Structure 1
Amino acid sequence: MLYLTLFICFITSILITPLVKKLAFKIGATDKPNQRKVHQKIMPRLGGLAIFFSFLIGYLVLQPDSKYALPILIGSIIIIITGVLDDMIELSAKIKLGGQLVATLIVVVYGGVQIDFINLPFGGKLEFGMLSIPITVLWIVGITNAINLIDGLDGLAAGVSSIVLITISGMAIMMGNVFVTSMGFIVLGSTLGFLFYNFHPAKIFMGDTGALFLGYMISVLSLLGFKNVAVISFIVPVIILGVPISDTFFAIIRRIVKNQPLSAPDKSHLHHCLLRLGYSHRQTVLIIYGMSAIFGLAAVIFSKVQTMWGSFLVLAILLVAIEIIVEKIGLVDKTYRPILNMVRGLRLKN
C-alpha cells in the first residue's frame, strides 16, 4: 500500500502541475527576471501547490496513524497559505517568518514534536528542559529557510529535497519507524512528480509555496526520525541535510566577513559559485544532486559505524571535505583558502 500511495502521489502531481501553472498566471503568481536571477523570462512560481495537493491526496489514501499526523497537516496548511501569499504579493520577511513560526509552534506545542533530551556518548543524559521548545523551533524554522535558500536553479530544491527524503525514509525503514516512512514517501512521490516539470529547462517554479512546504516537512520528519537519541545519532539529520545547511552556514559567515546584514541577498550561494566556475545550469544541478547523495550515504555509514571513534573519523573526513570544496569554489570568498594555502606552503617547502 505504501509504494502504491507513492505512485499515486507521483501521478497526481504530474496531472495537477499543468493546472497549477495556469492558475499561477491567472492570479499573478509569477517570477520576473532580474540581475540576481538566472532565468530570462517570466515564470509561474506556484508549483508547490501541486506538491501539496498531491501530498493531501496521499495523506487521505494512506491515513497515517500517529498523534503527530494532524498537527503536521495543520502546520503544513499554514505554511502553504504563507507561501501562496508570498508568491502572489511578496510578503515582508517578518510576515513570512511569522507564518513559519505559527506553523512550527502548532507542531511543537500542540503536536508535541520536541527534542527533550540527548543521551551523551560517555553515559548520562542531557535534558533540555525549558530549552526544548526554542531548540526545536530553531531547527524547524532554520531547515525550512535553508531549503528555501537553495531554490535558485531549475530542479535544484526539488531534487535535493527528494534525495533527502529518500535518505530519511530509507533510514526510517531500517529503524522500523512506520509513520516517518509513510509521510516521507507521500512527500517524495509528490515532489518527484513536480520535478518532471521543474527540471531544467523548467516550465514552472515551486516558489516559496513549495520551498517552505518541503523545508517544513523535511525538518519535522528528520526530527521525528531521530528525536531523543544519542548525541552521535542526532548528528545524522544534520549530515543528511548537509547541502542546504552548509550553504546557509557559509552564507551567514560570508555576510559576517563582509559586514553585511544576514538577510542581505547575494549571488554567492553554492549554485552561483559553480556557475561562475563554468559549469552549465544542468551540470551545476547534477553536481549538487551528487553532493546531496554523498551526504545521504555518509549519514547511513555514520549511523552504522559501531565505535564512537569510527563515527568521529567519518565526521572529520566529511568536515575536511566540505572545507576543501568551500575553498575551491569560493563559497565564503575567493581569498578564503586556509587549508589550500597550507597545503601549497608545505609543497613549496618540499
Structure 2
Amino acid sequence: MVYVTLFLCFIASVLITPLVKKLAIAIGATDKPNARKVHQKIMPRLGGLAIYISFIIGFLILRPTDDSISAVPIIIGSFIIIITGVLDDRFELSAKVKLIGQLLAAGVVVLGGIQLEFINMPFGGELQFGIFSIPLTILWIVGITNAINLIDGLDGLAAGVSSIALITISGMAILMGDMFVMSVGLILLGSTLGFLVYNFHPAKIFMGDTGALFLGFMISVLALLGFKNITIFSLIVPIIILGVPISDTFFAIIRRFVNKQPLSAPDKSHLHHCLLRLGYSHRQTVLIIYGIAAMFGLAAVIFSQATLWGALLVMGVLLIAIEVFVEKIGLIGKDYKPLLKFLSQRKFG
C-alpha cells in the first residue's frame, strides 16, 4: 500500500503543479531575475504548494501511525511553514518574519513531544540533554530548514537533493523497521519527484520558499525521528545524509563571518555558483551535486552499518574529501587570504 500511495502522490503532484503555476502567475507570486540569480526571465514560484497538497493527499490515504509518535504536531508545523512560504513567495517577507514562522513550526513539533532528549555513549552510559533538549531540537529543525532553502539556486537542485535525502532516510527506516518514518518519507518523495518533472532544467516553475522551507522542515523532522535517542555515532548519520546542504550552509556562514556580513546576506559563492564559474553547464552542475548528495547518502548507510573503527574511517575519508573539494572549487570564496588572516589572529586553547 505504501508504494501505491507513493505512485499516487507522484501522479497527484504531476497533475497539480500546472494548476499551481497558473495560480502563482495570477496572484503575482513570481521570481524576477537579478544579479544574484541564475535565471534570465520572470518565473512563477509557489511550486512547493503542489508538493504539500500531494503530500497531504498521500497522508490522508495512507494515514501512517506510530504508538510513540503523534502526527498532528508534524502536520500543524508543516502548515505553519507552508503559510510562511506562501506569504514570502507573494510578498517577500523579511528574514526575521520568516524565522518567526520557522520557530513557531519547530515549537509545535517540540511541544508535541518530538525532542532530542539523550544519546547513548559508545562505551556505555547516556548523555542526557535535559533542559537543552528543546533548544537543540529547535536549532536542528530551523538549521536544516534553512540549509535546504539556501541550496535552492538552480533548476531542480533543492528538489533533487531533497529526494536523494528522502530515499536514504526512507531506506534506512526500512532497515530499522520504522514504518512511520518510511511511510511519511516515501509519500513526500513521490510528491517531490512529481514536482521535479516541471522543475528540472529548464524549469517551468520554481518551488519557491514554499517548497524549500517545507522540504527542509519535513526532512529535519524525519531525520530527528529516525535517529533520535541513539548512539552518538548514529546521531552523525542524518548529518552525513544532509551533507550537501549542511556543508554549503557551514561555508556560507564562514564567508559571511569573515567578511563581516549579516548571516542573511546573499552571495554568489554557494556550491552551485562555484561549479558554474568553473565552466560547468546548468544541467551538469545540478547532476554533479546530485552525485555528491548520493555519495553522502551511501556513506551514511555504510557508516550506520559499520563497526566503531569502520565508522571513524568513513568519517575521516569524508572530511578529507570535503576539504579537497572545497579547496578545489573555492567554496569559501575567491580569495583565501582574508580567511587565513582571520584565523591567524585568533588564539585557540
Mapping for residues 1-350 of structure 1, pairs under 5 Å: 1-66=1-66, 67-109=69-111, 111-306=112-307, 308-336=308-336
Which deviations, in whole Å up to 9, do the C-alpha atoms of 1:20-60 show, x marking residues without a partner? 00000000100000000000000000100000000010000
SS of structure 1 residue aligned to 2:127: strand
CA distance in 1, matches of 2:302, 2:65: 30
AA of the residue aligned to 1:98: I
AA of the residue aligned to 1:275: L
Which deviations, in whole Å up to 9, do the C-alpha atoms of 1:266-320 show, x marking residues without a partner? 00000000000000000000000000000000000001112x1221111011011
SS of structure 2 residue aligned to 1:231: coil
CA distance in 2, matches of 1:11, 1:295: 28
Where has structure 1 moved over 4 Å in runs of 4 or more? none
* Structure 2 unaligned spans of 5+: 338-349
2:341 maps to: none
CA distance in 2, matches of 1:112, 1:235: 22
CA distance in 2, matches of 1:234, 1:179: 19
Instruction: Give 1:120 deviation, angstroms.
Output: 1.1
Question: Do the aligned partners of 1:68 and 1:107 also contact (CA within 8 Å) in 2?
Answer: no
AA of the residue aligned to 2:282: H
AA of the residue aligned to 1:336: Y
AA of the residue aligned to 1:104: A
Question: Do the aligned partners of 1:327 and 1:336 also contact (CA within 8 Å) in 2?
Answer: no
Let me know the Cα RMSD of the aligned residues: 0.9
- Percent sequence identity over matched residues? 76
SS of structure 2 residue aligned to 1:232: coil
CA distance in 1, matches of 2:213, 2:8: 23
SS of structure 1 residue aligned to 2:201: coil
AA of the residue aligned to 2:119: I
CA distance in 2, matches of 1:170, 1:28: 39
1:286–1:72 Cα change, 3 Å:
same
Instruction: Give 1:263 deviation, angstroms.
Output: 1.5
CA distance in 2, matches of 1:300, 1:103: 29
CA distance in 1, matches of 2:144, 2:100: 15
Matched positions, count: 335
Which deviations, in whole Å up to 9, do the C-alpha atoms of 1:223-280 show, x marking residues without a partner? 0000000000000000000000000000011112222222211000000000000000
Question: Do the aligned partners of 1:327 and 1:334 also contact (CA within 8 Å) in 2?
Answer: no
CA distance in 2, matches of 1:46, 1:272: 23
CA distance in 2, matches of 1:68, 1:115: 16
2:347 maps to: none
CA distance in 1, matches of 2:60, 2:256: 44
CA distance in 2, matches of 1:261, 1:85: 23
Instruction: Give 1:335 deviation, angstroms.
Output: 3.9
* Structure 1 unaligned spans of 5+: 338-350
CA distance in 2, matches of 1:132, 1:103: 16
CA distance in 1, matches of 2:137, 2:332: 28
CA distance in 2, matches of 1:225, 1:118: 13
Instruction: Give 1:138 deviation, angstroms.
Output: 0.1
CA distance in 1, matches of 2:173, 2:40: 41
CA distance in 1, matches of 2:335, 2:84: 39
1:341 maps to: none
Instruction: Give 1:124 deviation, angstroms.
Output: 1.3
CA distance in 2, matches of 1:68, 1:94: 29
CA distance in 2, matches of 1:283, 1:158: 16
TM-score scaled by length of structure 2:
0.95
SS of structure 2 residue aligned to 1:126: strand
CA distance in 1, matches of 2:316, 2:334: 24
CA distance in 2, matches of 1:135, 1:222: 14
